[in-house]
Structure 1
Amino acid sequence: MSIYNIKGLAPLALVTLLSACGGSDNDSDNDGVVDMPDPMPVEMSYEVTVTNLTYAQPLSPIAVVLHGDSALWTVGEMASTPLEILAEGGDNSDLIAMDAILASASGEGAVGPGASATLTVTTTDETATHLSVVSMLVNTNDAFTGLTAMDLSSLAVDSPQTWTLGVYDAGTEANSELAGTIPGPADGGAGYDAERDDVDFVARHPGVVTMDDGLSTSVLTQAHRFDSPAIKLTITRKQ
């Protein structure tokens, strides 16, 4: 057909011809669906400050961990092995390495009486809904302090929450206060021992007796006694 004959075509035929000759190349294979990029993960960051309120009980390096809604310890229940290791020897590495832990931070050294330590823990994991903080009182057999399974949904950005916390007994090592059984500077003794020779459940700690209160075999003095609270804990959501 000559181009000059287009003028003679009926309107409908002309539209059909033009459509066939000038079809659009913009049709996509996804029927108009546009692929959107994945959203950027939201980073959540928490600042934790622990202040030692005792007179002569250094705290082992502070462990701060994020996890789901399960507690790291429960009063009246048996301590896990990672908690036992921390409570008897101050080593938090096994606790931080637990499968349930989604993010963690550890202090670099002991926190002396009257001193404070601040750590920051960060994650993008939305299942990290709870926070725990734990440390050993090192001039004891198996005393520890801290907070477990704190629900992070209650924290607003830059709105700190503060607690004063007491002391727990892991129940894994008898509170003998004997020479060679306490890893802190009062004795320099052994830390973790896999054999459990106590009640084998977590409880509130009754306190130490000391040589000054009639336990002649104790390596502790009245300076090592502690009352509740033992620490002040402040948690602030930063982002």
Structure 2
Amino acid sequence: MSTLITQKHKRFPIKLFFVSLLSLGLFACGDNDDTPAIPDVEEPMEYSYSVMITNLTYAQPLSPIALSLHNDTKMWMIGESASIALEKLAEGGDNTDFLSSENNIVSTSSESPLPPGASVMLDIMTIDPVATYLTVSTMLVNTNDAFSGLTGVDISTLTIGQEKSWNLSVYDAGTEKNTEAAGTIPGPADGGVGFDASRDDTNLVSYHTGIVSKDDGLSNSVLTQAHRFDNPAVKVTITRTK
């Protein structure tokens, strides 16, 4: 009888020990862990570009350069009417409306006109994966409504460190007659009026036929042979940097 009592007393503390452990939650099962998993947050990809614009003309300053990235669209088309934004840029060098176009996903501008023979570098960045089309535009300011640029160019295949270049011709916005007359040229050759809401030309964008000048028989022109330009008038080089 005394032996049995001794055995019972030996077993009881062990059972109590395991009950205590369970009550304290020290035996946890990994399969029942209710802690919510924290999902990995993927950083958006950044697309960065450096764009070099060079003025190739002899005596045609370029208005501040407008640069934008957007989806698959074009800001002008040969044989179609210019938008008001393009008219303002091509007649007076004002790129404000052009930069704020609803088509643009991101845009930027150089701070000042670009003198003949000079270059300017503009940087632009986006995290929007559909912003893969490039537009560059500027006015030749010693003209009535001549502009140069490229629009809706697909740059989606550029890899980091890769560059691509274009030599650009000059367009006529078709919104103002090319009279070259005093008071109609906004550049330093005249200091005349820029944008005028009325349109007195073909109202169609076309390739520019060039400057005539007073030296070549246009007696009322304020321009000289120095203001004439050859194509290409502008060089653009884009490099993907990130």
The number of aligned residues is: 229
Give the secondary-structure state (helix, strand or coil) at the position aligned to 2:128.
coil
Q: Deviations over 1:137-175 (max 9, x none)?
A: 000011000111111112122122111110011111111
Asked if residue 118 in structure 1 is aligned to residue 118 in structure 2, the reply is no
Letter in 2 for 1:174: K
Counterpart CA distance in 2 for 1:29 and 1:72 is 55
Shift of 1:34: 2.8
Letter in 2 for 1:229: P
Residue segments in structure 1 that go unaligned for 5+ positions in a row: 8-16
Shift of 1:24: 3.9
Q: CA RMSD in A?
A: 2.4
Asked if residue 106 in structure 1 is aligned to residue 109 in structure 2, the reply is yes
The percentage of counterpart residues that share the same residue type is 54
Asked if residue 217 in structure 1 is aligned to residue 220 in structure 2, the reply is yes
Alignment of 1:78-89 (within 5 A): 78-89=81-92
Q: Deviations over 1:60-84 (max 9, x none)?
A: 0111101001011111111111111
Structure 2 match to 1:43: 46
Counterpart CA distance in 2 for 1:141 and 1:119 is 26
Letter in 2 for 1:57: Q
Structure 2 match to 1:198: 201
Instruction: Find the partner of 2:144 among 138, 141, 144.
Output: 141
| TM value normalised by structure 1 | 0.88
Counterpart CA distance in 1 for 2:49 and 2:97 is 22
Letter in 2 for 1:65: S
Instruction: Find the partner of 2:187 among 163, 172, 184.
Output: 184
Residue segments in structure 2 that go unaligned for 5+ positions in a row: 1-8
Structure showing greater Rg? 2
Q: Deviations over 1:103-156 (max 9, x none)?
A: 112111111111111111111111211111110000001100011111111212
Counterpart CA distance in 1 for 2:177 and 2:130 is 37
Letter in 1 for 2:208: H
Counterpart CA distance in 2 for 1:86 and 1:165 is 17
Structure 2 match to 1:13: none
Structure 1 match to 2:71: 68
Shift of 1:231: 0.9
Give the secondary-structure state (helix, strand or coil) at the position aligned to 1:99.
coil
Counterpart CA distance in 1 for 2:123 and 2:108 is 7
